[in-house]
Amino acid sequence: MPVQHHYEAYITRTNGPLVLVRIRDLTELRRAEELRADFVANASHELRTPLAAVTGFIDTLRGHAKDDGPARERFLEIMSVEAGRMRRLIEDLLSLTRIELNEHNPPAGEVDVASVVRDAAAVLAPLADEDRISIQIDPCESLKVVGDRDELTQVFQNLIHNAIKYGRSGGEVRIRFGRAEAPSKREGGGQVLVSVQDEGEGIPREAIPRLTERFYRVDVKRSRERGGTGLGLAIVKHILNRHKGRLQIESVPGEGSTFTVSLPAVQTTAEPSV
Ligand code: ADP
């Protein structure tokens, strides 16, 4: 497929017989501008839909539903759901912007990932109960990483929330911990691994590489019904970039999905003396 490139050329005459040509490749810059413009267009579109619903119901409530008590209750309920959707979208957009601005500033704190995961799961327990999903967390001692506790909490809340949203009602969400040792001491303390596995419908193979794009959803209607914004995994990706971590996604359609986070572990043993 042809790829468009953008260049800027400055041509300067020198005193002698030569001409000075300076060429700047603007392709990356243009691409970033296009991505930003697309993002603003998408965000506006996402907000416009619930806003149109709320405005429409205000008109209806002022008009023919004015004296219809049951209809009024129904419409107010829908308006409240739509307002909730706008609130979640704005919160996610603000989170994403804040994280992006901070992305090149590495975190400094020391965090026990196992306790972050347990806290994130506890917050989501009522939602899991609604779908009769049981969250099983494998036992684990402390697993220390260098990180920002609030941001890592958001990573695991988003992943566990997705496992509930797209999991099997009446099924299980299982969280496992592990470690991958570094090939040598020089390369740090290895990696801490946390995987979140659900028994949901799974993800088509071709969609997997796109899941962390902003607003990408396999099934927009289903995501909306489940209160999704399409930004959760984009937020996860940016937080993990800041933490020099990674996200790996595996899925078997019809059987479920596993999202595995790896984060650099805190080096526990002292550097060997030379
Ligand atoms: P959303 O708010 O739509 O859930 P996310 O960025 O968190 O947005 O996820 C993007 C999309 O990835 C979802 O809309 C869904 O299609 C898919 N997805 C995420 N997690 C899972 C999962 N555990 N099982 C199946 N599909 C998932």
> Domain range spanning residue 196?
110-264
Same domain (yes/no): 166, 148: yes
pTM score: 0.87
Flag whether 66 is in a domain.
yes
Q: Which of 68, 101, 134 represents a domain boundary (last residue)?
A: 101
Residue 247 lies in a domain: yes
- Exposure on the CB side of residue 32, measured as CA atoms within 13 A: 4
Q: Which of 74, 101, 128 corresponds to the end of one domain?
A: 101
Tell me, yes or no, whether 236 and 124 share the same domain. Answer: yes
Indicate which CATH number applies to the domain containing 37. Answer: 1.10.287.130
Pocket probe mutation, ligand 1, options 88, 127, 160, 166, max atoms within 8 Å of Cβ: 166
Q: Are residues 121 and 70 in the same domain?
A: no
In the predicted structure, residue 270 carries a pLDDT above the cut 70: no
CA distance 141 to 135: 18
Which stretches of 131-245 are DSSP H helices? Answer: 149-165, 220-225, 232-242
* Residues 42 and 132 both lie in one domain: no
Q: How many structural domains comprise the chain?
A: 2
- C-alpha span between 166 and 157 (Å, rounded): 14
CA of 243 to the centre of ligand 1 (A): 22
Per-residue pLDDT for 3 more than 90?
Answer: no
pLDDT at 271 over 70: no
Q: Are residues 226 and 248 in the same domain?
A: yes
Q: Is residue 233 included in any domain, yes or no?
A: yes
DSSP-based helix, strand, coil % in the chain, nearest 5: 50, 20, 30
Q: Of the candidates 101, 122, 138, which is a domain's last residue?
A: 101
| pLDDT for position 273 | 47
Least confident of 59-68, 150-159, 169-178, 206-215: 59-68
Residue 235: inside a domain: yes
Contact indicator for 214, 224 with CB cutoff of 8 Å: no
Per-residue pLDDT reduced to its tens digit, 117-161: 999 999 999 999 999 999 999 999 889 999 999 999 999 999 999
Spell out which residues line ligand 1, taking CB within 6 angstroms: 158, 162-163, 165-166, 198, 200, 203, 211, 217-219, 223, 228-234, 257
When the pLDDT of each residue in the chain is averaged and rounded to a whole number, the result is 93
pLDDT band at 267 (very low <50, low <70, confident <90, very high): confident
